[in-house]
Amino acid sequence: MRRKLGAGDVTFNILNYMFLAALMVCTLYPFINLLAISLNESTDTLRGQVYLWPNALTWDNYRVVFQNEMLLGATLRSVARTVLGTALSLIGSVMLAYTLSRKEFFLRKSINLIMVISMYISGGLIPTYILIKNLGLTNSFWVYIIPGLISVFNVIIIRTYFDQLPDGLVEAARIDGANEFQTLFRIVIPVSMPVLATVTLFVSVGHWNSWFDNYMYNTRDNLNLLQYELMKILMQSTQQVTSNATGSLSSESLRQITPQSIRATMTIIVTIPILFVYPFLQRYFIKGIMIGAVKE
Partner 1 sequence: MNIRSTLQQDVQGQARVRTGGKLLGKKIKSQYQLLLMSIPFVIILILFSYVPLWGWIMAFQKYSPGKGISGSPFVGFDNFIKLFHDDRFFLVLRNTLVMSILSLVTSFVGAITLALLLNEVKHVLFKRAVQTITYIPHFVSMVVIANIVITFLSPDGGFVNQILMATGIIHEPIYFMSKGEWFWGIHTLTVLWKELGWSTIIYLAVISGLNPETYEAAEVDGAGRFQKIWHISIPGLLPTATMLLILSLGSIVNTGYESQFLLGNSLTTDFYEVLDLYALNISFGSGQYSIGVALSIFKCVVSLILVLSVNKLVKKAGQASLF
Site residues for partner 1, 111-130, by CB under 8 A, read 111, 114-116, 118, 120-128, 130
Distance CA 243, CA 252 (A): 17
Q: Which is nearer to partner 1, 14 or 191 (CB)?
A: 14
Binder among 167, 239, 243, 276 for partner 1 (CB under 8 A): 239
259-to-38, 46, 59, 62, 245 alpha-carbon distances in Å: 11, 10, 16, 13, 14
Instruction: Produce one character per residue of 226-242: b if its CB has 16 or more CB atoms within 10 Å, e if not.
Output: bbbbbbbbbebeeeeee
- Told to check if 208 binds partner 1 by CB under 8 A, we report yes
- Told to check if 150 binds partner 1 by CB under 8 A, we report yes
Binder among 103, 106, 242, 252 for partner 1 (CB under 8 A): 106
- Told to check if 279 binds partner 1 by CB under 8 A, we report yes
Q: Which is nearer to partner 1, 121 or 175 (CB)?
A: 121
Residue partners of 122: CB distance under 8 A and separation at least 6: 128
Site residues for partner 1, 30-89, by CB under 8 A, read 30-31, 33-34, 48
Q: Which is nearer to partner 1, 190 or 252 (CB)?
A: 190
Binder among 55, 253, 258, 260 for partner 1 (CB under 8 A): 260
Segment interacting with partner 1 (CB under 8 A) among 55-63, 65-73, 234-242, 243-251: 234-242
140 touches 219 (CB < 8 A): no
- Told to check if 221 binds partner 1 by CB under 8 A, we report no
CB 114 to partner 1: min, Å? 6
Binding mask 168-207 for partner 1 (x = CB under 8 A): -----------xxx--x--------------------x--
- Told to check if 90 binds partner 1 by CB under 8 A, we report no
